[in-house]
Amino acid sequence: MSRAARHGVVLLAAGRSRRLGEAKQLLEIGGEKLVRRAARLALATSPLDAVVVTGDHAEAVEEALRGLAVRCVAAEDFDEGMGRSLAAGLRHLDSACTGALVVVCDQPALTAEHLARLVEAWEATPSSAAASGYAGTVGVPAVLPRAWFPRLMSTRGDRGARDLLREHAAEVRIVPDDLLGVDVDRPEEMTDLF
């Protein structure tokens, strides 16, 4: 691993959760809010910096994170889609971070072990990305190299990093975990999880 390879965390927690009808980042599993759980797991990777992007329900999200070593930043244009939230997080990440571990709140099967494997895969080749493989796709959580930040910061809509991961597939190390395909987007998906 290059000594210069240091990652930061960008946790996306800004969305309105329209399909769900309530703030998914504030749902609880085992008495812990999803946003706090995701932040805690991401912090277990020992990042240089950790940014949580807020938007809708910002005050409640910040309260849920009290006591954790994270900084909350507002994405004023979060309603335009995940791409704008990602841009806000990357913009505020410490400039010494050579990669960003991007995490979302709505993957209840996420583990610290999976995030550690992603960071380890990225550290082996920090100019490339390491992304999660599940449900026939490659996506977040993922560690994205700093060279991708300018393009990611100009992303619009709900695309996030997906297009770049596809475009640069040869430069992406995939860390599989089929359980990450289970997310929380609709009320019926909550029944078995909560």
Domains present along the chain, CATH in parentheses: 7-190 (3.90.550.10)
- Write the Ramachandran bin of 38: left for phi over 0, alpha for psi from -120 to 50, otherwise beta: alpha
- The Cα-based distances of 31 to 23, 35, 97, 103, 175 in angstroms read 16, 12, 32, 20, 29
Lowest-pLDDT range of 73-82, 104-113, 127-136: 73-82
Is residue 102 within 8 Å of residue 111, measured between CB atoms? no
Return the DSSP state at 77: T
Q: Which residues pair with 144 in a beta bridge?
A: 100
Mean pLDDT, residues 55-74 taken together:
95
17-54 per-position pLDDT tens digit = 555 556 788 988 889 999 999 999 999 999 999 999 99
Question: Quick one: pLDDT band at residue 161, thresholds 50, 70, 90?
Answer: confident
- pTM reported for the whole predicted model: 0.90
Q: Which of 10, 83, 105, 100 is nearest to 53 (CA)?
A: 10
pLDDT at 163 over 90: no
Would you state the pLDDT for residue 16?
67
Would you state the pLDDT for residue 5?
83
Would you state the pLDDT for residue 79?
65
Q: Which of 148, 143, 145 is nearest to 175 (CA)?
A: 143
Question: Quick one: pLDDT band at residue 156, thresholds 50, 70, 90?
Answer: low
Neighbours of 147 (CB within 10 A): 15
pLDDT at 126 over 90: yes
- Rounded Cα distance, 102 and 90, in Å: 9
Would you state the pLDDT for residue 49?
98
Would you state the pLDDT for residue 187?
47
Residues in the chain, overall count: 194
Neighbours of 111 (CB within 10 A): 14
Question: Quick one: pLDDT band at residue 159, thresholds 50, 70, 90?
Answer: low
Neighbours of 61 (CB within 10 A): 25
Mean pLDDT, residues 97-121 taken together:
96
Sheet with 99-104, strands from edge to edge, namely 71-74, 50-54, 7-13, 99-104, 137-145, 129-134, 172-176
Mean pLDDT, residues 2-18 taken together:
80
